[in-house]
């Protein structure tokens, strides 16, 4: 559905994106994560056709996005900084969307207005940040986009509204095979809905993997021995991070789980357990884990 190939971009003579590759399949949800300044928003502006690539290509269904009105018609885009026409009510803004998008669906529009308990005659400029965000989702999802691009989409929404928004998105993914790319710092929320993740770091795609596959390759293990052999173990397995609390060591390790266990077991551990690993922890320790601690309580 979306294919980014060898994309590079300079802004003010600074390399922002460096040879980026990204693949988003039809009917899937892709989580784009990275630290501030990693290039996420610049990449998204290429996906929606705002920026032209210096090198490489950005295609949806095999067609270039930049300056292609037919491709852009099928893209729904909600950015962090929302914009609506001054003085417009929800109704007037919906009229504009009706004229711009032939796919505008009245039933979806009315259903979402009712679900979010918003009245059409409300002037958008007078709404709270969270309510403006709701309006953006109502209007965008009412166009029935084939591709939905979201940049920090749920900032300002309370937990109930977030759940409603995500339910509508999941419904469209399931029923219409809509493809979704979400850039967010809320990794816990991304983890609950994403099929694939891409980690962007300093303008480079550090990794792009199926989320379940990624979790199967990185493990959080607590282990205890009757003597100190952490330095020995660190030479035999790929340790991304380690902590010591009393006699118990906690390792974030990368590799085949069976091979890792075989290595640890040959030294006769007193304790050997695998602990749940979150997307946030994977992100932190793939980027080095400097200055971060794992907050789980271990015994």
In this prediction, residue 168 carries a pLDDT of 95
What confidence score (pLDDT) does residue 152 get? 85
Q: Please, what sign has the CA dihedral across residues 280, 286, 291, 294? A: positive
Mean pLDDT, range 117-132, rounded to an integer: 94
The reply to whether 95 and 242 lie within a common domain is no
Specify whether 136 is located in the same domain as 247: no
Mean pLDDT computed over 264-278: 91
More confident residue, 47 or 217: 47
pLDDT of amino acid 150? 95
| Same domain membership, residue 188 and residue 155 | yes
> Can you give the pLDDT at residue 292?
41
* Last-in-domain residue among 202, 231, 256: 202
Whether residues 192 and 238 share a domain: the answer is: no
Question: Mean pLDDT over residues 80-95, rounded?
Answer: 93
> What does the pLDDT average to over 257-262?
92
**pLDDT on residue 283:** 86
Domain assignment present for residue 270? The answer is: yes
Mean pLDDT for 164-192 is: 93
pLDDT over threshold 90, residue 164: yes
pLDDT band at 133 (very low <50, low <70, confident <90, very high): very high
My answer on whether 95 and 194 are in the same domain is: yes
- Report the chain's mean pLDDT, rounded to a whole number: 90
Instruction: Check which CATH number belongs to the domain holding 248 and give it.
Output: 3.30.70
User: Of 202, 227, 258, which residue sits at a domain end?
Assistant: 202
Residue 299: inside a domain, yes or no? no
The verdict on 168 and 237 lying in the same domain is no
What's the rounded Cα separation, in Å, for the pair 229 and 223?
11
- Its domain, for residue 116, covers 2-202
Same domain for 13 and 150?
Answer: yes
Q: If you average pLDDT over residues 241-257, what whole number do you get?
A: 89
Percent of the chain with pLDDT over 90: 70
pLDDT of residue 288: 65
Residues 219, 178: one domain?
A: no
Question: What proportion of the chain, given as a percentage, has pLDDT over 70?
Answer: 96
Under the phi-then-psi rule, with left for phi > 0, alpha for psi from -120 to 50, and beta for the rest, what region is 56? left
Query: At CA 50, angle to CA 41 and CA 200, rounded to 5?
Result: 25
Average pLDDT over residues 232-245: 88
The whole-number pLDDT of residue 297 equals 32
**Quick one: pLDDT at residue 290?**
40
Same domain, 74 and 172: yes
Residues 24 and 153 in one domain: yes
CATH of the domain at 28: 3.40.50.300
In the chain, at which residue ranges do the beta strands (DSSP E only) sit?
2-11, 14-24, 29-34, 55-60, 63-64, 75-78, 147-151, 179-183, 196-201, 204-210, 218-224, 238-245, 248-254, 271-275
- pLDDT value of residue 289: 52
On the question of pLDDT at 111 being above 60, the answer is yes
Task: Please report whether residue 164 resides in a domain.
Answer: yes
Asked, for residue 292, whether it belongs to a domain, the answer is no
pLDDT tens per residue, range 13-29 = 999 999 999 999 999 99
Domain boundary among 202, 234, 263: 202
Domain count within the chain: 2
For residue 175, tell me if it sits in a domain: yes
| Domain assignment present for 147 | yes
- DSSP symbols for 150-177: EESTTTT--HHHHHHHHHHHHHHHHHH-
* Whether residue 226 sits in one domain with residue 260: yes
Q: Is residue 67 part of a domain?
A: yes
Decide if 207 is inside a domain.
no
pLDDT tens-digit profile of 184-193? 888 888 888 9
pLDDT tens digit sequence for 23-74: 999 999 999 999 889 999 999 999 999 999 999 999 999 999 999 999 999 9
Q: What mean pLDDT comes out for the span 112-121?
A: 95
Q: Are residues 198 and 251 in the same domain?
A: no
């Amino acid at each position: 559905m979306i294919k980014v190939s060898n994309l590079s971009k300079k802004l003010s003579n600074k390399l922002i994106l460096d040879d980026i590759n990204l693949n988003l399949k039809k009917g899937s949800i892709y989580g784009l994560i990275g630290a501030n300044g990693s290039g996420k928003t610049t990449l998204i502006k290429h996906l929606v056709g705002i920026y032209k690539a210096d090198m490489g290509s950005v295609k949806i269904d095999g067609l270039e996005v930049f300056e292609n009105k037919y491709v852009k018609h099928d893209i729904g885009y909600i950015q962090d900084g929302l914009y609506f026409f001054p003085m417009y009510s929800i109704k007037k803004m919906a009229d504009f969307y009706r004229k711009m998008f032939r796919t505008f669906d009245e039933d979806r529009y009315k259903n979402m207005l009712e679900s979010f308990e918003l009245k059409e005659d409300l002037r958008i400029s007078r709404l709270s940040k969270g309510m403006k965000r709701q309006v953006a989702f109502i209007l965008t999802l009412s166009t029935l986009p084939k591709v939905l691009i979201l940049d920090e989409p749920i900032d300002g929404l309370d937990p109930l509204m977030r759940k409603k928004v995500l339910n509508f998105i999941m419904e469209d993914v399931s029923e219409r095979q809509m493809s979704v790319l979400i850039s967010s710092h809320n990794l816990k929320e991304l983890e609950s809905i994403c099929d694939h993740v891409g980690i962007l770091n300093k303008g480079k795609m550090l990794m792009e993997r199926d989320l379940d596959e990624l979790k199967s390759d990185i493990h959080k293990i607590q282990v205890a021995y009757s003597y100190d052999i952490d330095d020995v173990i660190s030479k035999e397995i790929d340790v991304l991070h380690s902590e010591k609390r009393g006699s118990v060591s906690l390792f974030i390790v990368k590799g085949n789980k069976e091979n890792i266990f075989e290595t640890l077991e040959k030294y006769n551990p007193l304790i050997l357990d695998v602990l749940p690993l979150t997307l946030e922890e994977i992100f932190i320790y793939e980027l080095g884990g400097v200055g971060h601690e794992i907050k789980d309580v271990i015994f």
